[in-house]
Amino acid sequence: MRNTFMFVAIACGALSFMTQAHAAIKTQAVEYSAGGTTMQGFVAYDDAKKGPRPGILIVHDWMGLGPFAKDKARQLAGEGYVAFAADIYGKGVRPKSPAEAGKLAGKFKSDRPLLRERVRAAFDKLVAMKQTDAKKVVAMGYCFGGTTALELARSGAPLAGTASFHGGLSTPTPEDAKNIHGPVLAMHGADDPNVPPSEVEAFKEEMKKAGVKMKFVAYPGAVHAFTNPAAGNDNSKGAAYNAEADKKSWVEFEQFLKEAVGG
């Protein structure tokens, strides 16, 4: 009877510890601004962890900041990082359809100074947080967000590294690659119709010419948006989830983080 009581007590204690550990992940909406526009990002970090730790800036896809990017922030917070999901479009500005998203994303892609201004504001907000080690910040992004993370790097932001998941790779100012700090990781769907081989080769040449340490990984059979289950599984549509590519790219990214910031 005594042994049974001890087992129950230990089990309850373990459950309580796990609950407390889970509860230590703090999340909240964070407002910041750029050029007179208010944005609303999302931060996640382990409130029980003391002192500054590496920061991860996450940039959303063309549908705007939503559950996908926020879930990534929570996941990375659980690994000991302070993760900030940026809002490029502005507070309350969220496309309601792919057509609307395409138009909105196109606005920023055709105005790279504006895109850089918005993402730099998010970077500055993350760096200013007391939980963040300003010398160990990595930018990452998905699709439109991958393009944005690369533009932040090209702008000369003091990043420890930059990672793109199935992002657009082209830029109107490839000469700006000389401003990139830290290594670059580009993860690409080998069959992605939105980022053709010519764009891939131009990107590789851009990085090589600028002397950037870059790793490019192409996943066979994967198309655009291969990390997002919401993209469905029909490759013929040009965007589809690929479980294998999703898993492998995350492992690749985790290794990249360890090398970039020692996470």
pLDDT class of 172 with cuts at 50, 70, 90: very high
CA distances from 78 to 173, 182, 252 (A): 37, 24, 18
The label of the residue with tokens 């609307």 reads: 100
High-pLDDT (> 90) share of the chain, %: 89
Would you place residue 263 in the very low, low, confident or very high pLDDT band (cuts 50, 70, 90)?
Answer: low
Architecture of domain 25-261: 3-Layer(aba) Sandwich (3.40)
Q: What is the pLDDT of residues 116-165, one digit of tens each?
A: 999 999 999 999 999 999 999 999 999 999 999 999 999 999 999 999 99
| Long-range CB contacts (within 8 A, 24+) of 25-31 | 25/74, 25/77, 25/78, 26/77, 27/70, 27/73, 27/74, 27/77, 30/84, 30/125, 31/91
The pTM assigned to this predicted structure is: 0.90
Tens digits of residue pLDDT in 16-62: 334 344 448 999 999 999 999 999 999 999 999 889 999 999 999 99
Q: Where are the domains of the chain?
A: 25-261
- E-only strand ranges, the chain: 25-34, 37-46, 53-59, 82-85, 132-142, 161-165, 184-189, 214-219
